[in-house]
Amino acid sequence: MDIDPILSGLNAAQRTAVTSPSSILQVLAPPGSGKTKTLTARVAYLLSSQHGFRPQDVICCTFTIKASREMRERLAHLIGDRVVSKLVLGTFHSICRRYLVAYGHLIGLKKGFGIADSNDSLAIIKRIVKRLNLNIQPNPARSRISGQKAQGISWKDLDDARHPKGVEQQEFIQVYREYEAALASSNLLDYDDLLLRCVDLLRQHPHCVSNVQTVLVDEFQDTNVIQYELMNLFAAQNRRITIVGDPDQSIYGFRSAEIKNLERMQRRYPNTSVVLLEDNYRSSGSILGSAEQVIEQDTARPAKKLHPTHGVGTMPVLRKLPTAAAEAQWMVTEIKRCITLTGQLLKPSDFAILLRSAALSRQIESELGKQGIPYRMVGGSRFFDRVEIRLLLDYLRVISHPENNDALARIINVPTRKIGDETLKSLTAGAESAKIALWAFIKDVVQGRRSCQKNLSKAASIGLSVLVGLIEAARQKLYDCMDESSPRILLEFVISKLGFREYLTATYPLDEENRWANVEELLAQAGDSSTSYFQQDDLLPEIEGLEQQQGHIGEEALSRFLANVALSTEVTTEEGDQPQEKVTISTIHAAKGLEWPVVFVAAVYEGVIPHSRAEDSDEERRLLYVAMTRAQALLYLSLPRRDSKNGEETRTSSFLPPSIVEAKFRAVGPKFVDKTIFAIADILGREHPSQEAIVKGLQAGLPSNNDDLWTHDGEYTGDTATRWDGSKASSALDGRGQALENRA
Ligand code: ATP
Ligand code: MG
């Protein structure tokens, strides 16, 4: 394989990293400096004839499913689809799942385990708290359990610890213990288990990864202790590791990520080489400068300079609006205006609205809806959480895996089968005392082999046998299906057997159409094998002396589909149709590693950024830094004057530097709009729009008042920056004809 295409388009430092002969390599660099690009090129380089690693012997860990898809696409251009499909490339969670499916039986995992997503985990904990009548809050308990697991601390460790335990701690240990028992009885693994059990597997059976030649990790600064350990275990045989990361972008400390892993790695592998990248290829000079002023306030960090490769561009804009609703309206209007004024240089998918928390999105979503701009939500409330979708998925989960007690309990009476809460309680109690799964108990009851404490009504008995019949028929269908089409086939089967469309019409008469559209979307996803991020589970290497479990193709395709649904909760959800037409709304956390031509960061006020309950204010600052450095050409920051929750006056985030807060902004006159547009095009590497397109845009979209179209403080005279000519401002903005004349 020719390595020229791999190295072309990289700068000297990037090439050094890509071709580095060091077996342990850290690439540390600020945002937008091409770390991910470098990592991708290094994968291709290691697979090239120079090194000749086989793709199935290379493990590459990305932070989100979206990132792994993007990397797959980029690599496909360099080395071809066939090779890429064999790589072990994905998030830590999905890679672990893959190993557990293949080799989990070696550590006693039952075949066909399901994955509990965060909703499932919460539901289980709520039930435990209720059953045991405890005072503990379910949501914090869940994060705490996850935190303990991420550090490898089991409930037994806590129970054994010699410290005296208060009531609160005792309750927590009890919930933790019961939670683990509930997962085990439903044959479910939660997110943390996927990692932990894989650590167990690889410690006990290092052979499973003895083929691995090299391991690469993106966004290393956000790995937790377990992920770090996994990386070492993956690489145990050949000790070849490449990581890329940026300590300044560490934002997952609240989920037990440890920046310290960087130093840990250097201590563990004394032969670690470090390559620094300094040039920034993403953002305009002014965006980079402002972001730098934010991160510089962290005095504990070593000083670093960010070198822009683009011109100064347009200054970031800070805007205060009276209310959150007005803020949403302003953002959406501004998006529309940017699209019109740039003569279609920008399209909706070039815009992202980044939020501290998904809870803030409601007004923005409704405003986008009102103004007819399509959008997609990332990292927030998800497509898969909608009631109708969740219900169908629960059916699929029970079909794939009937021991899933929670999913079964949720579908048992939906649509109604006259099985009331009391009946369900009695069935659950019966199953628990017989120490078998709810499904097995119900089947026994239906077949008259066991009886339920509460006498079942006639209607309930019939309801139960109908359900059992449905699930059994579906399982037979699954068994008969010998290819990847099982998710769609079963979904269609369930929809028709339940009369699901009629059920929706009857239950949601006002909203039936929307909900049905969602169902159709789910069908499309179930039928699209490209949404199964791992088509290649069967490609894990066969290892001598180890028996890899060979699954049934239809069953495995369904279980993989459900796993992808569960794992995508953590990160992003693409809703099928073309993303290129949509504005993105995302949490800042989920925007990691990504970039957009225009970025809005909303609600930048004290209490939100930094968050009022945040423990680590440095991490809060880094969060704002990550948000700002997603922007390529235009950056807007905004806040409402009043907090919509308590009506109190807000204070602008103290993280914002004076250069942004105190800047006097005025709109750029039309005379300079073309220069601004050209500067944007240059940063994005796009063609300049024609004069006609710009004139047309101006006619349609000139700001009517002194508003925020590429505002400018007038002092700035960078190379490609637009220059503000104050004396002409009012006349230029007053009369459109006059403005166009000036341009000529
Ligand atoms: P982050 O820290 O945000 O994850 P990163 O360091 O991973 O950022 P990349 O996403 O790899 O940065 O690159 C940022 C942008 O810069 C991408 O659009 C990439 O294509 C571009 N880029 C990187 N290196 C070069 C280069 N040598 N020449 C031109 N463009 C480059
Ligand atoms: Mg990156």
Rounded to the nearest whole angstrom, what is the distance from the C-alpha of residue 125 to the centroid of ligand 1? Answer: 42
Please report the pLDDT score of residue 538 as a whole number.
47
Neighbours of ion ligand 2 (CB under 5 A): 35-36, 593
- Please, which residues have CB within 8 angstroms of residue 449's CB and are 6 or more apart in sequence? none
Mean pLDDT of 147-157: 88
**Span 462-508, pLDDT tens digits:** 999 999 999 999 999 999 998 888 999 999 999 999 999 999 999 98
* Minimal-distance CA residue to ligand 1 atom 14: 32
What is the pLDDT of the chain when averaged over all its residues? Answer: 85
CATH topology for the 383-542 domain = PCRA; domain 4 (1.10.486)
- Decide if pLDDT at 683 tops 90: yes
Residue 310 DSSP symbol: S
Please report the pLDDT score of residue 570 as a whole number.
43
The reply, when asked if residue 9 is annotated as ligand binding, is: no
The reply, when asked if residue 34 is annotated as ligand binding, is: yes
Positions of CATH 3.40.50.300 in the chain: 4-107+208-277, 291-382+574-699
Q: What's the CATH number for 114-186? A: 1.10.10.160
Please report the pLDDT score of residue 664 as a whole number.
65
Say if ligand 1 is within 6 A of residue 36 CB.
yes
- Decide if pLDDT at 242 tops 70: yes
316-325, 376-385, 652-661 — which is least confidently predicted? 376-385
Tell me the ipTM for this assembly: 0.99
* Minimal-distance CA residue to ligand 1 atom 23: 34
- Decide if pLDDT at 461 tops 90: yes
Positions of CATH 1.10.10.160 in the chain: 114-186
147-151, 542-546, 737-741 — which is least confidently predicted? 737-741
- Decide if pLDDT at 303 tops 80: no
Q: Are 56 and 541 in contact (CB under 8 A)?
A: yes
User: What is the CATH architecture assignment of 4-107+208-277?
Assistant: 3-Layer(aba) Sandwich (3.40)
Residue ranges with strand state E in 451-528: none
What tokens does 463 get? 């309801």
- Decide if pLDDT at 410 tops 90: yes
CA distances from 495 to 80, 281, 283, 392, 488 (A): 39, 49, 48, 8, 10
Rounded to the nearest whole angstrom, what is the distance from the C-alpha of residue 637 to the centroid of ligand 2? Answer: 23
Say if ligand 1 is within 6 A of residue 740 CB.
no
Q: Which amino acid is at 355?
A: L
- Decide if pLDDT at 373 tops 70: yes
Please report the pLDDT score of residue 729 as a whole number.
31
- Decide if pLDDT at 577 tops 80: no
Of the residues 60, 61, 64, 282, which should be mutated to test ligand 1's pocket, given the most ligand atoms within 8 Å of the CB?
282
Element (H, E) at 275: strand 273-276
Please report the pLDDT score of residue 713 as a whole number.
42
Please report the pLDDT score of residue 722 as a whole number.
35
158-167, 461-470, 699-708 — which is least confidently predicted? 699-708
Of the residues 27, 36, 295, which should be mutated to test ligand 1's pocket, given the most ligand atoms within 8 Å of the CB?
36
What tokens does 660 get? 């942004």
* Minimal-distance CA residue to ligand 1 atom 30: 281
What tokens does 247 get? 């300590």
Superfamily of domain 291-382+574-699 in CATH is P-loop containing nucleotide triphosphate hydrolases (3.40.50.300)
- Binned at pLDDT 50, 70 and 90, residue 625 comes out as very high
Please report the pLDDT score of residue 528 as a whole number.
67
- Nearest atom within ligand 1 for CA of residue 594: 3
Q: Are 62 and 196 in contact (CB under 8 A)?
A: no
Q: Is the dihedral of CA 394, 396, 402, 404 positive or negative?
A: negative
Residue 587 DSSP symbol: E
Say if ligand 1 is within 6 A of residue 531 CB.
no
- Decide if pLDDT at 716 tops 60: no
Q: Are 1 and 79 in contact (CB under 8 A)?
A: yes
Closest residue by Cα to residue 518 from 532, 501, 497, 498: 501
Mean pLDDT of 384-404: 91
CB atoms within 10 A of CB 503: 18
**Span 349-371, pLDDT tens digits:** 999 999 998 778 878 988 888 88
